[in-house]
Structure 1
Amino acid sequence: MSRVLRVELRRSAAAGALLALLVAGAVLLYTAPQRWSAGWMPLAMIQREYLVLLWPLALAAGAWQARREHRSRVAELFASTARPRAQRILPILGAMGVAVGCGYLAVAAVAVPRIIDTASYLPGSVFTVVAVGGLAMIAAAWLGLAVGRFVPSVVTAPVLAVAGIALLLVIPAAMRRTGTEWLAMVLSPMYGMGQYTDYQTVTGRVSLAQAIWLTALAGAAVVLLASGSWRSRVAALLPAALGVALATVVAPRGDAFVAHPIDPVAQEHVCAQGSPRVCVSRVHAGLLPEVTPLARQALSMLAKLPDPPTAAHEDTTTYHPDTSPPRRADTVLIPVQVDKHGRLAGKSEVIPRMLDAGGANMRGCEGRQPSTPVARAVGYWLLGRVPEPGHSLEPAEINAEAVRWWRALRRLPEREAVARVAEVRRAALACEELTDLPAGSRR
């Protein structure tokens, strides 16, 4: 059997499918490396999101391979042999399964050199997410073989590819409208894999439910491919139905379902040696040598204020779900973002953002806080340079107002300016609205 499998790997479409998947996957990953450069889980999840294109490609590869007997006009000859069809299809099932599975793993492998020096957090769930992705590819190839056997047309493969893309996009959209988003995550292997934060993960129950459904789908494809009568073809629906039923029992739903779950271990603090204390999240631990000198420089600038912060921690705020780190007067938050090379992005912006509003954490203030011009003015006064716009879409009036307040602070005596900046910091920590510098500071 192993010799036959080797022959199939050489002479079938398996090698071409592997190469096509590897090229397509590598192009997709390296088109936007900043989406997964933060670590191993982002890489695993983004690769799963790209199944929207890779899964239909495996589906088409299976359908194309299924035309071989039809092209060679040997279907009747093989049917007349004593070997049962189920035995004859095993080598091609193995060859296509090995090809698309290895192709999927090879796509992940080409991304490893880019982040191996910076990605230090490797949870076990990464391997589960990758394994389920490989299983999805095998199920797609086998389903393509089954469909291609019954519709051995030259257009079957491209039509299946387009249908596969549509299916992966339509199912989640339809189920979101019906309030069954949890089922969409089970049936669509790419749904819910988009990264909203570097701390995002895939729960074990979701992965198990997906694995059950994909295994059932692969089993249904095998039964359909081996079928010789209409009864056996109808029987192919049984494993698929059982798979859906079992997967829905395992999958979290209702209050237990979280569309974008967060890994609490990924958010845990990893701290640099020495003082003042500087910590980043575990998933960003590889950035600690870059973050530490910047954070300590910002803390030294804040030291001129009364009761200044004495520690700096990464800002682990997330928006899906909406969470914020605890508000503490002795701790300033560090904005940490990862660039496409896995390094600290926007280094020049880290200190100004830490000094914003005098280093106060305004997360969760719900609108009652010092205005952006005031917060920026005191931050750049501590930094010792003129305020700069926050982003390209920001109205010019905001930074112009910040510059005016900054100049007002610069004209004040040092002692009085420190007192005004401290008052802005106090208002920010107390979530008090402040649209102006404290009275008497503007001249």
Structure 2
Amino acid sequence: MNILGIELRRSAALGAGLITVAVGAGALYVATGRWASGWMPLAMTIREYLLLLWPLALAAGAWQGRREHRAKVGELFATTARPRAQRMLPVLGAMAVTLAVAYLLVTVAGLGWIVTTAQHVPALNFTVVTIVGALSLIGAVWLGLGIGRMLPALVTAPVLAVAGVLLVFLSIVRTPDWLAAAISPVHGTAPFHDFQTIDNRVSGALAISMVALAATGLLLFVAGGWRARTAALVPVLLGFTVAVAVVPRDEDVLNWPVDPVARELVCTDDTPTVCVSRLHANVLEALTPLAREGLTALAKLPDAPTAVHEDTRGFMLDEDSSPGDGIVRIPVRIDKRGGLAHPATVVPEVVRGLGVPYDERCQHRNEVVERAAAYWLLNREPQSDVAVVPEVFYEEPVINAEAVTLWQGLRELSDDEALARVTAVRDALLTCADVTGILSESAR
């Protein structure tokens, strides 16, 4: 332990750990909105940042690996009776412990941000993803140690840093998904939907690769000749072969697997019912009055929806919803503090479409007519989606101008006549019929 303590103080281990914490935590807090919704988004975001941390660990190992050459004591140590491997173990241990602890500290820094808001804790998956991430840093730093000792030039570390970035990047954009999942610590971490996770089978395959990589780095670091260095390639080749053999081939499992528990709905005890996913359960209280305000506006229509659910389908989750199930489905957005983002959008999103979900098979949707009808129910002048929906950045001005004109025409009618026309629009949407002209002057 005394020797390990000396290595921690005098080697590059402590500096590498501090840089890892600074870069990792800094990257997290620059973009808290990407992971503030829960534990699993946090774990995946840190894994994604291995695009930066993994090359840094590789370079740190290479810098440390040339220490004997830099100090010109290689020949002196070679004459001692102490086995080479025994001399190298404290350095290996110091670098591994420091990088693993640094990765965990970055994770703790993220947990401190969401601990009061994130209610869904996928303990097993979160732990596995985090451990494999830390293991990948150990593999990188040990590989760097081996290469640095074998090629103790001053440029080795910076060259390896650049090569590490290219290696990680190209492994996820230039290789088949199944191969990238088996060898890249970054694959599968880009979020396609809120309920994404990393399958434990994929994590297992990657763990095999990272252990094999670490073993190769260790053998290169303690090798005494070219035969031993050549033999050091055996673990990584064998490990990659096994990882490729066991990694799943299903594209959904490799790229955007779903955590079914995170998608489960948590609902209010009273009515009208408002439900959100378990992942977003902390915003149910803030969302409920807004969702019910939207339902109150829709209640002017006969057979109006009576519940609001979070739309848990999302990108890459192809599931149809029944247009006649009495439920309005809306997206739930989380802000950088883990609370409800853009609350002003909730009521318009409940009422838009008059409670009829969008169906790409229906070719007669008319944004102008639907907006005018929805805002008549809200008793507000229509607004452009650019001012309402955060994801919309541009809209043709004529769309809202025409919607305002139709809305003004509805306001000139009696309430019964206007409601009849809005109801006719809703009924046409339910049957995928053309709604153009239903609100116009000629439809009187």
Whether contact under 8 Å (1:420, 1:441) holds in the other structure is no
Whether contact under 8 Å (2:34, 2:41) holds in the other structure is yes
> Aligned residue for 1:346?
342
Whether contact under 8 Å (1:269, 1:280) holds in the other structure is yes
> Aligned residue for 1:157?
157
> Aligned residue for 2:29?
30
Whether contact under 8 Å (1:335, 1:354) holds in the other structure is no
1:365 pairs with one of 336, 360, 367: 360
2:310 pairs with one of 303, 314, 339: 314
Q: Any stretches of 5+ residues in structure 1 without a counterpart?
A: none
* TM-superposed deviation, 1:139: 0.5
Post-superposition CA distance 1:219-247 (Å, at most 9, x none): 11111111112221111111111111111
Post-superposition CA distance 1:58-87 (Å, at most 9, x none): 111111111221121111111111111111
The answer to whether residue 413 in structure 2 is matched with residue 418 in structure 1 is no
Q: Which amino acid aligns with 2:157?
A: A
Whether contact under 8 Å (2:195, 2:263) holds in the other structure is yes
> Aligned residue for 1:147?
147
1:338 and 1:397 map into 2 onto residues whose CA distance is: 31
Post-superposition CA distance 1:85-122 (Å, at most 9, x none): 11111111110001111111111111222211211111
* TM-superposed deviation, 1:264: 1.9
TM-score normalized with structure 2 length: 0.94
Post-superposition CA distance 1:391-413 (Å, at most 9, x none): 23111111112111211221121
> Aligned residue for 2:125?
125
* TM-superposed deviation, 1:329: 3.6
Q: Residues 388 and 255 (structure 1 numbering): CA distance in 2 closer, same or farther, change over 3 Å?
A: closer
1:265 and 1:308 map into 2 onto residues whose CA distance is: 30
> Aligned residue for 1:21?
20
* TM-superposed deviation, 1:280: 0.3
> Aligned residue for 2:389?
none
Post-superposition CA distance 1:4-63 (Å, at most 9, x none): 111111111111111101111112111211111111111111111111111001111111
Whether contact under 8 Å (1:182, 1:257) holds in the other structure is no
Whether contact under 8 Å (1:315, 1:325) holds in the other structure is no
Task: Tell me how large the CA RMSD over aligned residues is.
Answer: 1.7
Post-superposition CA distance 1:367-400 (Å, at most 9, x none): 4243111121111111111111112311111111
* TM-superposed deviation, 1:138: 0.6
1:383 and 1:345 map into 2 onto residues whose CA distance is: 21
* TM-superposed deviation, 1:327: 3.8
Q: Residues 382 and 166 (structure 1 numbering): CA distance in 2 closer, same or farther, change over 3 Å?
A: same
2:317 and 2:229 map into 1 onto residues whose CA distance is: 44
Percent identity at matched positions? 49
Say which is worse superposed, 332-341 or 212-221, in terms of deviation: 332-341
Q: Residues 97 and 228 (structure 1 numbering): CA distance in 2 closer, same or farther, change over 3 Å?
A: same
SS of aligned partner of 2:309: strand
Aligned 1:42-441 pairs, distance under 5 A: 42-123=41-122, 124-175=124-175, 180-254=176-250, 257-362=253-358, 364-391=359-386, 392-438=393-439
Whether contact under 8 Å (1:316, 1:324) holds in the other structure is no
1:140 and 1:385 map into 2 onto residues whose CA distance is: 59
Query: What is the number of residues matched between the two proteins?
Result: 437
Post-superposition CA distance 1:351-375 (Å, at most 9, x none): 001100212222x333424311112
SS of aligned partner of 1:307: coil
Whether contact under 8 Å (1:316, 1:325) holds in the other structure is no
TM-score normalized with structure 1 length: 0.95
> Aligned residue for 2:390?
none
Q: Which amino acid aligns with 1:144?
A: G
1:58 and 1:430 map into 2 onto residues whose CA distance is: 59
2:138 and 2:324 map into 1 onto residues whose CA distance is: 50
2:201 and 2:2 map into 1 onto residues whose CA distance is: 39
Q: Any stretches of 5+ residues in structure 2 without a counterpart?
A: 387-392
1:303 and 1:330 map into 2 onto residues whose CA distance is: 11
Q: Residues 76 and 297 (structure 1 numbering): CA distance in 2 closer, same or farther, change over 3 Å?
A: same
1:344 and 1:329 map into 2 onto residues whose CA distance is: 26
